[in-house]
Amino acid sequence: MARGQLPRWVDYVLLPALNLLAAFFVSGLVVVLIGEDPFEAVKWILYGALGYGEGIGYTLFYATNFIFTGLAVAVAFHAGLFNIGGEGQAYIGGLGIALACLALDHIVPWWVTLPFAILGGALFGAAWAFIPAWLQAKRGSHVVITTIMFNYIAANIMVYLLSNVMIPKGSMQPASRNFDVGGQLPWLRTIFPSFDLGQSPVNLALFIALIACVFVWVLIWRTKLGFEMRSLGANPTAAEYAGISPLRITIITMLISGGLAGLMGMNEVMGAQSKLLLDFTAGYGFVGIAVALMGRNHPVGIILASLLFGLLYQGGAELAFEIPSITRDMIVVIQAFVILFAGALEHLFRPAVVAFFNRFVTAKNGQETA
């Protein structure tokens, strides 16, 4: 083992766990600062998220959102691109899904609408990622900045559409009309009545999210395109010499990324709400960044990280209910620390761990040779 190298399990399990612990520790300090007991808070979060059927249902429901947006960020990361526009792509993707549902819900059953909705969400989300992708590939405008700008442009378009175009006559709420049964994904509590999921809106989109994970795994590690994406991400110069077109890969990657983000609406729009609501994305697109960082851009990691964040979201609601002086915004604070420690400060503990392992391993090797 070369100096500074660590066994894989340390890189993939121990270091992320240490980072996560640090994030939770600092979050606990915030709870102490407010004057509450952090262990009490942890207890309510765990109870709220896992303690009863409805809580578990909600945890899975939130996790579904995060799987989509996390995958979107991860796919782009593999090609060295930072897609910070998941929020806008999910928003516009929701529009595509809503249009499919509005067009078909009176005519056909939901399973006929389903493929059109998936296509609509993916296409609209991808289309919203296309211009930033093209500008990055062709004109060198940084994709981080353009996708931020596109988030705000999307928000303004959607406010206009929802409050002027899609709003039913006589309604005051800026939202589309309710979809009929032909535009609603079945909820899991109706498919599996034997499981106690309470009133939670977890729905078929969970399985679409899991299929998307398999799709991403095959794409990234088992196809030529995935290899080209990873090559471009690892070393753009080498990739170009190997005959890989950065223009083509950049655009394709961003289209896939945008499409995945766009599918988030399957869970929220077609699944839970049965209508297109203002701000239904509620920051899930940004949380995708934290999910991808925590999950090390691997589908399995992303599922685990999504469950963790789903747990925090649902448990945070319970926590705010039980201890009123801690509001739901505690989750946002925990997320901030997770992003900080797992993302920006990911090497904080590395030197110490490397030093520990070098001493441990060299000492052991020394004994063997002696």
**Residues within the interface to other proteins (CB under 8 A):** 4, 30, 33-35, 82, 84, 131, 135, 139-142, 144-146, 148-150, 152-153, 156-157, 159-160, 164, 286, 289, 293, 325-327, 329-337, 339-340, 343-348
Neighbour-count burial of 106, counting CB atoms closer than 10 A to its CB (0-12 exposed, 13-18 middle, 19+ buried): exposed
In this complex, which beta carbon is closest to other proteins, that of residue 46 or of residue 345? Answer: 345
Is the Cβ of residue 167 or residue 348 nearer to other proteins in the bound state? 348
Count of CB atoms within 10 A of residue 324's CB?
8
Per the listing, tokens 């945070």 go with: 316
We find the least distance from the C-beta atom of residue 155 to other proteins, in angstroms, to be 8
d(CA 283, CA 268): 13
Main-chain dihedrals φ then ψ at residue 277, nearest 5 degrees = -105, 155
Structure-block tokens of residue 201:
């809106």
Q: How far is the CB of 328 from other proteins (least distance, A)?
A: 9
Smallest separation (angstroms) from other proteins to the CB of 163: 9
Our CB check for other proteins shows the closer of 152 and 195 to be 152
CB contact at 8 A, 225 and 311: no
Report in angstroms how near the CB of residue 55 gets to other proteins at its nearest: 22
Minimum CB distance to other proteins smaller for 127 or for 333: 333
Residue 60 CB, nearest distance to other proteins (Å)? 23
Whether residue 101 contacts residue 317, with contact meaning beta carbons closer than 8 Å, is answered with no
Q: Is the dihedral of CA 232, 236, 238, 244 positive or negative?
A: positive
**Using CA atoms, how far apart are residues 331 and 162, in angstroms rounded to an integer?**
29
Considering all CA atoms of the chain, what is the largest pairwise distance in Å, rounded to the nearest integer? 87
- Structure token pair of residue 335: 């997320």
**Which is closer to other proteins, CB of 108 or CB of 332?**
332
Q: Where are the alpha helices (DSSP H) in 79-109?
A: 86-104
Q: Cα(164)–Cα(345) distance, rounded to whole angstroms? A: 45
Contact 304, 35 (CB under 8 A): no
| Helix spans in 296-347 (H) | 299-322, 329-338
Cβ proximity to other proteins, 106 vs 359, nearer residue: 359
Length of the chain in terms of residues written: 370
Closest approach, Cβ 260 to other proteins, in A, equals 19
Q: Name the minimum Å distance from CB 149 to other proteins.
A: 4
Q: Say how far apart CA 36 and CA 304 lie, in whole Å.
A: 29
Q: What is the DSSP string of 231-292?
A: HHHH-HHHHHHTT--HHHHHHHHHHHHHHHHHTHHIIIIIIIISS-BTTTTTTHHHHHHHHH
Nearer to other proteins, 78 or 189 (CB): 78
* Shortest separation between residue 239's beta carbon and other proteins, angstroms: 19
Nearer CB in complex with other proteins: 66/116: 66
7 vs 351 by CB, closer to other proteins: 351
Least distance from other proteins to the Cβ atom of residue 142, Å:
7
